[in-house]
């Protein structure tokens, strides 16, 4: 068996070598065998971390990557986000935060390797899973299956990215930092069938055919076709094995925390458990670990997926959203990486012998018998500590922990013995503490008249907006007879609006009636409330709002949003009146968006009203603007939006993201590190707004006269918005 495996492995090496010879420059080749990736012929244990370039700013990248290097990482992993690079077919954008080449070159400058996860489907809590919305409207398209229009588009983009990397000489085979690429993402068994299989085979050979000279991986794809490597994603990776004996055991997503949804709590993953999971994977022969995320960052603009993913993508990662080191996670993992690296030679050259040291107690020993020896001692018991005897020495193992002995004698690290204090983070006010606002009421007066789309019945939201805005107005008119009894003091009629999501604000004759919001579990929502109708024509205007497009699920591209109906009036003399099949007019986006009020160029297109805290009117949909000078210092900045409702903020024309003071529901009971981790286990912030602070990148500010524009949907109070700086203090590491 082993001989067959060896021959296949040799053939693969030959195959990859042939690819390199074909490339103009022959530098370090990357191959693999059953133990690990081989860089220039050397087997390696590699520690990687995900940092997604559009989730921070180019000005932050180098610092983040240096911090990753100091944290003991070898590789930086990023997805490539197709939707931002190709906003319309054939029009590309690789500027600013989308400057992928600059990002990869920064990784190279710092001296790390890169894993380029092209996808191009990425999931990632990113809008529409990273696939551009226009692709949904290519005739006959069906995502991620054996479908010619989809495959043609996917191939076009993948080729474009590979070509771009090649021409910048960024693959390791050309002397660049990229040692690995990913095609597809978590193409699970649920999407299978013959068409699914054909698609996976096609994707693999399309990718390999691009001749990058570095291996390809398909994460969470158990049957990855040769020579593509299958890999594991999850909180743990214990049951994983490569689908062929000559492939290495790789963990492409080691979830370091979890993402946040508006209305949900913050999820934390204790570092004791995270490091336990990593040590457990390595002791089983795993040779590649990637923290998803190492720095989560921010979902700027409308990039958050969803629905309902927050603007913060902090992820409880070792480097926090703002780029500050999070303790004890960062340093404890750094110690883990050091301990693992001390075992590297034994790990890559030997297979472990597994010894029982008692109930739920094990040793994994990598011993050559002639000197090289490393051992991992594990206590899987979630409740009790144990003292074990190994090679005549005694070792104390806390519950749910692993000790690492790089020489089979001294335990240099235990996953549950954390020697670092937690960072103490403060959000401190800076000048200008408060802003001096001017306002503009979103104009609802001529909505129907300015609409260019009308239809009998209700249209699906994305079909109309193509996601050029979160907002779509549905407008209709209803005639009420002067004989209706409610007009003479009877009970008011009510309106019932059924929406596929994600939120709706109801206006009758220009007056706000109420709102309804979906949740991530149940995207749809229903509004039901009394309405003020008058005799004659009444204008019903429904503002339907998306909060990030679906990024995951079987054929998620077909999932609907917007008012799907029915829309019913109740309580009229005739009983119920169905407006669903009325003539509806549609208006994409807000007036303020059309006039580009958010940008320094468009801001003067309306007459703003000077506001004072005392006199301000609280109309429902309102724009605010103010100017401010950049505060001194270097600390990261944020806006405290606790007094606001829901909307979006722009600084000097750039959107810092959606905000929403949705209060966190959850169970914030105590959190223990031991035992199998699930996101429900360690929740924080119950009963508080899920996200109160919004990152303002320093590099977006000028010294003076910065324009801040806010669009508020729920009548929030801007007078309490303040700018704060984030300060993290970390006490010294014990014993160092």
User: For residues 257 and 571, which CB has a smaller minimum distance to ligand GAL in the complex?
Assistant: 257
**CB-closest chain residue to ligand GAL:** 123
Q: With DSSP H G I counted as helix, E B as strand and the rest as coil, what are the percentages for the chain, rounded to 5? A: 25, 30, 45
Nearest to 212 by CA among 155, 161, 162, 158: 162
User: For residues 146 and 261, which CB has a smaller minimum distance to ligand GAL in the complex?
Assistant: 261
Closest approach, Cβ 350 to ligand GAL, in A, equals: 32
User: For residues 233 and 674, which CB has a smaller minimum distance to ligand GAL in the complex?
Assistant: 233
Q: Is 187 in the site for ligand GAL (CB under 6 A)?
A: no
Nearest to 594 by CA among 623, 616, 620: 623
Q: Is 37 exposed, middle or buried (0-12, 13-18, 19+ CB in 10 A)?
A: buried
| Binding string, residues 141-180; x marks residues near ligand GAL by CB under 6 A | ----------------------------------------
Catalytic residue among 253, 321, 712, 713: 253
User: For residues 269 and 692, which CB has a smaller minimum distance to ligand GAL in the complex?
Assistant: 269
- Residue count, binding to ligand GAL (CB under 6 A): 9
Closest approach, Cβ 179 to ligand GAL, in A, equals: 20
User: For residues 124 and 210, which CB has a smaller minimum distance to ligand GAL in the complex?
Assistant: 124
Using CB under 6 A, pick the residue from 185, 312, 461, 730 that binds ligand GAL. 185
Closest approach, Cβ 233 to ligand GAL, in A, equals: 5
- Does 24 participate in catalysis according to the annotation? no
User: For residues 254 and 381, which CB has a smaller minimum distance to ligand GAL in the complex?
Assistant: 254
Closest approach, Cβ 300 to ligand GAL, in A, equals: 18
Closest approach, Cβ 186 to ligand GAL, in A, equals: 5
CB atoms closer than 10 angstroms to residue 140: 8
Closest approach, Cβ 132 to ligand GAL, in A, equals: 17
Catalytic residue among 186, 484, 635, 642: 186
- Does 186 participate in catalysis according to the annotation? yes
Residue with tokens 């009894």: 485
Closest approach, Cβ 304 to ligand GAL, in A, equals: 12
Nearest to 60 by CA among 317, 315, 302, 322: 322
Q: How far apart are CA 258 and CA 39, in angstroms?
A: 32
Q: Report which secondary-structure segment, H or E, holds 527.
A: strand 525-530
User: Within 103-132, which residues bind ligand GAL (CB under 6 A)?
Assistant: 122-125
End-to-end CA distance of the chain: 49
User: For residues 309 and 721, which CB has a smaller minimum distance to ligand GAL in the complex?
Assistant: 309
User: For residues 124 and 710, which CB has a smaller minimum distance to ligand GAL in the complex?
Assistant: 124
Cβ–Cβ < 8 Å for 260, 320: no
Closest approach, Cβ 523 to ligand GAL, in A, equals: 17
Using CB under 6 A, pick the residue from 62, 186, 226, 460 that binds ligand GAL. 186
Q: How far apart are CA 322 and CA 696, in angstroms?
A: 9
Pairing of strands 373-379, 401-405: antiparallel
Phi/psi for 503 (5° steps) reads -150, 155
User: Within 230-249, which residues bind ligand GAL (CB under 6 A)?
Assistant: 233
Q: How far apart are CA 206 and CA 224, in angstroms?
A: 13
User: Within 568-627, which residues bind ligand GAL (CB under 6 A)?
Assistant: none
- Any residues with CB less than 8 A from the CB of 637 and at least 6 apart, and which? 430, 631, 695, 696, 697, 698, 701, 723, 724, 725, 726
User: For residues 255 and 395, which CB has a smaller minimum distance to ligand GAL in the complex?
Assistant: 255
Residues present in the chain in total: 736
Question: In 206-239, which positions are buried (b, 16+ CB within 10 angstroms) versus exposed (e)?
Answer: ebbebbbbbbbbbbbbebbbbbbbbbbbbbbbee
Q: How far apart are CA 250 and CA 241, in angstroms?
A: 9
Cβ–Cβ < 8 Å for 382, 399: yes
Using CB under 6 A, pick the residue from 143, 259, 366, 507 that binds ligand GAL. 259
Residue with tokens 């989560």: 296
Using CB under 6 A, pick the residue from 74, 146, 253, 321 that binds ligand GAL. 253
Closest approach, Cβ 682 to ligand GAL, in A, equals: 16
Q: DSSP for 633-658, please give it.
A: SSS-EEEE-TT--EEEEEETTEEEEE
Pairing of strands 75-79, 46-51: parallel
The residues that touch ligand GAL, with contacts defined as CB under 6 A, are: 122-125, 185-186, 233, 253, 259
Residues that are catalytic: 186, 253
């Amino acid at each position: 068996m082993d001989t067959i495996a060896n021959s296949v492995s040799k053939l693969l090496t030959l195959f990859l070598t042939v690819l390199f010879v074909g490339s103009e420059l022959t530098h370090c080749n990357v191959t693999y065998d059953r133990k690990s990736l081989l860089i220039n012929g050397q087997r390696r244990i590699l520690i990687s971390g995900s940092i997604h370039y559009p989730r921070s700013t180019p000005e932050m990248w180098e610092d983040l990557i240096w911090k990753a290097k100091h944290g003991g990482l070898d590789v930086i992993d990023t997805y490539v986000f197709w939707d931002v690079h190709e906003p319309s077919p054939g029009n590309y954008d690789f500027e600013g935060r989308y400057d992928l080449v600059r990002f990869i070159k920064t990784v190279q400058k710092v001296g790390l390797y890169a894993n380029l996860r092209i996808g191009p489907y990425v999931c990632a809590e990113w809008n529409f899973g990273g696939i551009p919305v226009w692709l949904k409207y290519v005739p006959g398209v069906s995502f991620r299956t054996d479908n010619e229009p989809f495959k043609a588009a996917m191939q076009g983009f993948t080729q474009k990215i590979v070509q771009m990397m090649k021409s910048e000489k960024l693959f390791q085979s050309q002397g660049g930092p990229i040692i690995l690429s990913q095609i597809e993402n978590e193409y699970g068994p649920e999407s299978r069938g013959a068409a699914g299989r054909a698609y996976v085979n096609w994707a693999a050979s399309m990718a390999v055919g691009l001749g990058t000279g570095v291996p390809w991986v398909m994460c969470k794809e158990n049957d990855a076709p040769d020579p593509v490597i299958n890999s594991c994603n999850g909180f743990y990776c214990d049951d994983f094995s490569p689908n062929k004996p000559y492939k290495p055991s790789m963990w492409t997503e080691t979830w370091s925390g979890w993402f946040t949804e508006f209305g949900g709590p913050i999820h934390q993953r204790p570092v004791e458990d995270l490091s336990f999971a990593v040590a457990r994977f390595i002791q089983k022969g795993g040779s590649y670990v990637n923290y998803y995320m190492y720095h989560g960052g921010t979902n700027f603009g409308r990039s958050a997926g969803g629905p309902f993913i927050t603007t913060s993508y902090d992820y409880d990662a070792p480097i926090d959203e703002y780029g500050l080191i999070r303790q004890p996670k960062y340093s404890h993992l750094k110690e883990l990486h050091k301990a693992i690296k001390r075992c590297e030679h034994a790990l890559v050259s030997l297979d472990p012998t597994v010894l029982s040291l008692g109930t739920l107690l094990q040793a994994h020993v990598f011993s050559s018998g002639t000197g090289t020896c490393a051992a991992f001692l594990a206590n899987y018991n979630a409740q009790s500590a144990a003292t074990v005897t190994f090679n005549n020495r005694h070792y104390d193992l806390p519950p749910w922990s692993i000790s690492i002995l790089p020489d089979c004698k001294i335990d240099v690290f235990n996953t549950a013995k954390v020697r670092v204090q937690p960072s103490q983070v403060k959000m401190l006010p800076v000048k200008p503490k408060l802003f001096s606002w001017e306002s503009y009421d979103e104009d609802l007066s001529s909505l129907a008249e300015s609409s260019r789309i009308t239809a009998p019945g209700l249209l699906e939201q994305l079909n109309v907006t193509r996601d050029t805005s979160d907002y779509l107005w549905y407008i209709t008119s209803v005639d009420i007879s002067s004989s209706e009894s409610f007009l003479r003091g009877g009970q008011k009629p009510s309106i019932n609006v059924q929406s596929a999501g994600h939120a709706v604000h109801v206006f009758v004759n220009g007056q706000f009636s109420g709102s309804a919001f979906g949740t991530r579990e149940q995207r749809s929502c229903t509004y039901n409330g009394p309405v003020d109708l008058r005799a004659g024509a009444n204008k019903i205007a429904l503002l339907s709002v998306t909060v990030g497009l679906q990024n995951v699920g079987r054929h998620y591209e077909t999932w609907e949003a917007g008012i799907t109906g029915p829309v019913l009036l109740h309580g009229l003399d005739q009983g119920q009146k169905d407006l669903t099949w009325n003539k509806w007019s549609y208006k994409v986006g807000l007036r303020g968006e059309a006039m580009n009020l958010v940008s320094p160029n468009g801001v003067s297109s309306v007459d703003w009203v000077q506001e004072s805290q005392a006199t301000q009117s609280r109309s429902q949909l309102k724009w605010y603007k103010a100017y401010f000078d950049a505060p001194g210092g270097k600390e990261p900045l944020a806006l405290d939006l606790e007094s606001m409702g829901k909307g979006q903020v722009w600084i000097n024309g750039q959107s810092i993201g959606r905000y929403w003071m949705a209060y966190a529901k959850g169970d914030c009971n105590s959190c223990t590190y031991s035992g199998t981790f699930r996101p429900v286990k360690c929740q924080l912030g119950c009963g508080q707004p899920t996200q109160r602070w919004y990152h303002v990148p320093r590099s977006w500010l000028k010294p003076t006269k910065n324009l801040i524009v806010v669009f508020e949907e729920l009548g929030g109070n801007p007078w309490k918005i303040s700018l704060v700086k984030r300060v993290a203090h970390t006490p010294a590491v014990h014993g160092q």
